[in-house]
Amino acid sequence: MTELIPIGTILAVLSNQIIKISQAAKDVVFEKESFRVLAKHLLDIGPVLKELQSQQLNDSPVARQALESLETNVKKAHALVEKYKGRARFYLLLKCRHIVKEIQDVTREIGDSLAALSLANVEVLSGISDQVHRLQHEMQRAEFEASHARLQIVDKLNQGISDQAFDKEFANDMLRDIARAVGVPVEPSEISRELASFKREKEEAENRKERAEVFFLEQVIELLSRADAARDYEEVSFQYMQRVKVIERYDAREEYIEPFKAFYCCITGCVMADPVSLCTGTACERWALEAWFQRGEKSDPETGEDLQDFSWRPNILLRQSIQEWRELNYCLKIRSCKAMITSHEEECVVEALDRMKELVAENSINKDWISIGGLTEGVIALLESRITEAVRKKVLVTLKDIIEGHARNKASILEKGGIEKIVLCLGLDPSISEAAVGLLYEVLLDRSSWNTSCCKRLSQQCDEIIPLLVSVVKNESKLAEEILLKLCEEDDNIIKAARVNWFRPLIDKVVQGSVLERISMVKELVSLELDEEKIKLLGEEGVIPPLLEMATGGVESKEVSLHALVKLSTFRGNKHLICGGGGVSLVVKLLSSSHIVPAVTARCAEILANLSANGDETTFLVDEDGGQLELKSVTANLLAIQQNLNSLDSIRRPALRALVGICQSEAGLVKSAVVSCSGISVVLALLDDSNQEIRELAINLVFLFSQHEPEGVVEYLLKPRRLEALVGFLENSEKGDVQRAAAGLLANLPKSETSLTEKLIELGGLKAIIQIIRLGTGEAKENALSALFRFTDPTNLKSQRVVVELDAFPLLTGLLRAGSVTASARAAALLGDLSMRTPELSDLHMCPAHGGSCSVSTTFCLLEGGALPDLVRVVQDKVHATAYEAIQTLSTLVQEDSPQRGAAVLHEYGAIGPTIEVLRWGSESLKTEALILLERVFVSTEMVDLYGAMARAPLGQLASHSLCDERHLERKAVKVLLLIERYSRSSTTSLASTAAPITD
């Protein structure tokens, strides 16, 4: 007794068969939609079989029988797929009606088997019963139909064979229709290939002894072989020459042969394409005669006589005569086109191109005849001549029509140097370049693949063509992109494309290539000169994620990918991408690793330096989720690199740049670096380094660190040659950041160190600071102004005189007018420092403010220096910071021993009114300074008479509405009000009169 195969095994085998058949069905090139539906149904059966397997189906006779039926029908489906896979496309078209019928039958049979199987396993399949019922219902009622267009072609072919319409015109029509339906170019080499495959189908039918099939296929082959596209080149050329001999008898100016009257259809009045004849001998167009009878007509269309016999037959001889007449006219047109092309007259050339387009559209044989007649060569030559852009575009479009699907004409383009001439058009007007791309694409294409020899020929010009194609791709040309991708199958061309900002192939290689390919590509990327536009594009097109992935690989992979990231991290948009990809955490981890080669450490430091540069500071020092990294450990690692005597300059420099960027962000990090890591001692040592860049970076860090440990810096600077180096930084006008740091450092150091001040004057440091104020910009100028306070200290007359001797006074006055808010405020304060010494330096009664002989150089007088108008304007500008310093400086003019003189000067320059206005808008500290000045001014009766009424309102408001924390303002305001009341009642009118002071 034969042992039965277990049902579980059958189910497993059947499941695998279904998957394989479904995949194979997708490879059938014809009736794809029908086979696709069959494949889908088969795949839908898969879950049913899996459910049966999982439920351990009982081995009942009914279940086994249903399963065996399903297996048999699935095998039929497999046989059907194998039967039509890889068959000739012409053959598949002719069998389309039969094929869809077979697919429909096998689908329904599988549906029946599935229904039987579900009935035998109702309980087992209860969980998916709805799904099973829907599937079997769809399959049992499946209906497949071939497309209407294909059926029309098959019916037309069958009718032609039945009518014995074996003339060339009908053959041309049928071959064109069949070829287009199956996606084959109507081009001799392609048609020959398809006909050869079709003939093999006939041979296989002979082997199967299918006589009816063989007879039918022989008739189809005989018909299609008569078509122009089915004939070899020699035959086509011979036919053309025969027609040319005939037209040589016609005058050279003759362009058209009139058709014979017999060529016209008596119904349509047009020359016939498919003539048929009635029994009366009347010839008509087939479709017109059919329509005639369908309308109910019963007479001869030409004579009007009633017909007894309504049958007709193809008029082969007439069709051949009409075809010969057409071909003679083709040759006449070709002859006239050639004459017009060689005339080089624009109107003639345009007309010739239009006629050639018509010829190609009318009959495919004209593609051969145009080339045989020498027209193709003439049209190619036009691309080198002086023609308008419109004509050039028409030339390119016409050439595309001539070579489309025609291998011989494409070869002719190559032989005549056409590719080189087409390439020259790529750099012209967008419409011309687009037409050139379309033509170039057609030249390079060989059926559905690329023509290897053409592509090789084009590759020889990649230096010229790639930039041109990239410019066309930027206009969203898909064809140009396809050509570029083909050219970029060679690595050299990938780099050439990248040089002109087209990075897609390079990024694809970095993403998808092997390890060695990726490393090679990134090395090439690093070698490129990357401007900001290239760097931006690389980030936008997705190169950063694969680079970060490579940075986790081997040593060489790490080094090259990090090198690329160094370049890319200079652009702010890429910094976001590096952060989002977890790149910063990776870089910090690599930087702190003790097992990393120096080159990788250097790249990590450079990336951190770039991330913190350009004012970004710690913005991008975050993890992939946007959380801030632990920066204290980062700064500690960066400082440790400076302490390591074995660290290379290539590592120390970027590490210092990163430190500068990070420490500019917050004081806490600076303090941590100074206190926890002995940062000041580490960085001060770098000021003696032999590398200039390291020294310059070190001065930036010393400036930042000096805010927390200035004493150590002073001690360092007073050592031999150290101060000279600092003055050198101040004098380095080419490096604004270095000047800024050096000036800022001096501003942070204690002003009590008079020896440092004297030494700086001696070494030219003061002169350098004033030069920065004069020519520097931004923060460097502001830091230099802060540093200048060291030299304008009112207790150091000697340094003050040097400041004035170096023409600082007019410089400071100018900043009141044209400086930033900070610069103006500092300039005002510096003028105040100088003005504080004026009274004691003025010795004769000449200056209206100081009562003595004054000048800028000897007494630092504000009046002599012309500073008062600008100081008053600063107060009027209502900017708190600058107004505060300006009022303090104005106050130096009103001395306690003779306040009337100073008050009179302030009145003369219009300073008192703006000072009173400060009481309305100023901050608490600013109002305090204004009240101090007004307290000195209103000891003069004349000033009270002039300004008392104006001052009462704001003073009264301050006196009555001050907040608790502003009680001192209330007291001062009350004090000034009392002064006004006191001196307004006085009978004294002289400005020289004095009054007893009012105390708090």
Phi, psi of 642 (to 5 degrees): -70, -30
DSSP annotation of 306: B
Based on the fold, state whether residues 526 and 624 are members of the same structural domain.
Answer: yes
Identify the band that residue 572 occupies on the pLDDT scale cut at 50, 70 and 90: very high
Query: Does residue 633 register a pLDDT over 60?
Result: yes
Give yes or no: residues 927 and 960 share one domain.
Answer: yes
Whole-number Cα distances in Å, 984 to 452, 504, 958, 988, 994: 107, 86, 20, 9, 13
Task: Please tell me whether residues 87 and 172 are part of one structural domain.
Answer: no
pLDDT recorded at residue 31: 72
Whether 479 maps to a domain, the answer reads: yes
Distances (CA, A) of 106 to 14, 29, 41, 47, 132: 16, 19, 11, 20, 18
pLDDT at site 128: 63
Q: Domain for residue 946, yes or no?
A: yes
**Beta partners for 312?**
278
CA 246 to chain centre: 62
Question: H helices then E strands: how many in the chain?
Answer: 55, 5
Is 968 found in the same domain as 909?
yes
At residue 747 the predicted structure's pLDDT band, cuts being 50, 70 and 90, is confident
The overall average pLDDT reported for the chain is 84
The answer as to whether 977 is a domain residue is yes
Provide mean pLDDT across the span 398-420: 85
| pLDDT surpasses 50 at 322 | yes
Of all residues in the chain, the percent with pLDDT exceeding 70 is: 91
The two tokens of residue 496 are 């050439």
66-116: pLDDT as tens digits: 778 888 888 888 888 888 877 888 888 888 888 888 888 888 888 888 777
Reply yes or no on whether the pLDDT at 996 is more than 60.
no
**558 assigned to some structural domain:** yes
The closest of 21, 405, 466 to 191, measured between CA atoms, is 405
- Token reading at 856: 């800028």
Determine the Cα angle at 508 with ends 503 and 514, to 5°: 130
Instruction: Let me know whether 594 and 618 are in one domain.
Output: yes
- Among 231, 261, 283, give the residue marking a domain's end: 231
Output the pLDDT for position 565: 94
989 vs 89, more confident: 89
- Give the pLDDT of residue 999: 42
Per-residue model confidence as pLDDT tens digits over 450-468: 888 888 888 888 888 888 8
| Pick from 1-10, 257-266, 484-493, 740-749: least confident | 1-10
- Domain co-membership, 622 together with 505: yes
Would residue 530 count as lying in a domain?
A: yes
Structural domain contains residue 858: yes
- 419: confidence class by pLDDT, cuts 50, 70, 90: confident
Q: Per-residue pLDDT averaged across 473-481, rounded? A: 86
Task: Report which of residues 270 and 13 the model is more confident about.
Answer: 270
Inform me whether the pLDDT recorded for 795 exceeds 60: yes
pLDDT digits (tens, 9 = 90+) for 160-176: 888 776 666 677 788 88
Distance from C-alpha of 697 to C-alpha of 705, rounded to nearest angstrom: 13
Region 134-161: what's the mean pLDDT? 82
pLDDT at 844 over 70: no
**pLDDT over 70 at 994, yes or no:** no
Q: Among residues 64, 67, 16, 65, which one has the least CA distance to residue 43?
A: 16
Distance CA 100, CA 34 (A): 7
The pLDDT tens digits for 519-536 are 999 999 999 888 899 899
Is the pLDDT at 964 greater than 60, yes or no? no
Q: Which domain holds residue 134?
A: 7-140
Q: Where are the beta strands (DSSP E) in 236-375?
A: 275-278, 283-285, 312-314
Say yes or no: 223 and 277 in one domain: no
Confidence category of residue 570, pLDDT binned at 50, 70, 90: very high
Model pLDDT, residue 568: 94
* 919 and 969, same domain (yes or no): yes
Mean pLDDT over residues 769-776, rounded? 90
How crowded is the C-beta side of 477, counted as CA atoms within 13 Å?
A: 28
Domain count, the chain: 7
| Structure token pair of residue 51 | 């459910």
Distance CA 51, CA 353 (A): 68
Tokens of 458: 């084009």
Tokens 């400082």 belong to residue: 639
> Is 796 domain-assigned?
no
Non-local CB neighbours of 868 within 8 Å, separated by 6+ positions: 862, 890, 905, 909, 911
The b-or-e profile of 478-499 (16+ CB within 10 A means b, else e) is ebbbbbbebbbeebebbbbbbb
Average pLDDT over residues 541-551: 93
Cα–Cα distance measured from residue 397 to residue 840, given in angstroms and rounded to the nearest whole number: 95
d(CA 533, CA 195): 54
Q: Do 502 and 467 have their domain in common? A: no
CA distance linking residue 618 with residue 674, whole number of Å: 18
- pLDDT at position 396, please? 93
Neighbours of 141 (CB within 10 A): 10
pLDDT tens for 190-211 read: 788 888 888 888 888 878 888 8
Q: 547 with 625, same domain?
A: yes
How confident is the model over 648-707, as pLDDT tens digits? 888 888 988 888 888 877 666 666 665 666 667 778 888 888 888 888 888 888 887 777
292 has pLDDT over 80: yes
Q: What is the mean pLDDT of residues 721-735?
A: 86
Termini Cα distance of the chain? 130
Q: Is residue 298 part of a domain?
A: no
| Whether the predicted pLDDT of 992 surpasses 50 | no
- Return contacts of 964-968, CB within 8 angstroms, 24+ apart: 966/924, 968/928
- What pLDDT does 914 receive? 93
Residue 988 has pLDDT above 70, yes or no: no
Q: How confident is the model at residue 593 (pLDDT cuts 50, 70, 90)?
A: confident
Provide the CATH number for the domain around residue 258.
3.30.40.10
DSSP-assigned letter for residue 571: S
Q: 858 or 808: which carries more pLDDT confidence?
A: 808
Band of the pLDDT at 963, cuts 50, 70, 90? very low
Using the predicted structure, report yes or no on whether residue 721 has a pLDDT greater than 70. yes
What's the full length of the chain, in residues?
1000
Task: Give yes or no: residues 459 and 570 share one domain.
Answer: no
Task: Tell me the C-alpha distance between 693 and 676, whole Å.
Answer: 26
| Closest by CA position to 494, among listed 525, 468, 473, 519 | 525
**945 shares a domain with 824:** no
Domain end among 472, 487, 502: 487
Residue 230 has pLDDT above 80, yes or no: no
Domain boundary among 893, 910, 927: 893
| pLDDT band per the 50, 70, 90 thresholds, residue 851 | low
Inform me whether the pLDDT recorded for 136 exceeds 50.
Answer: yes
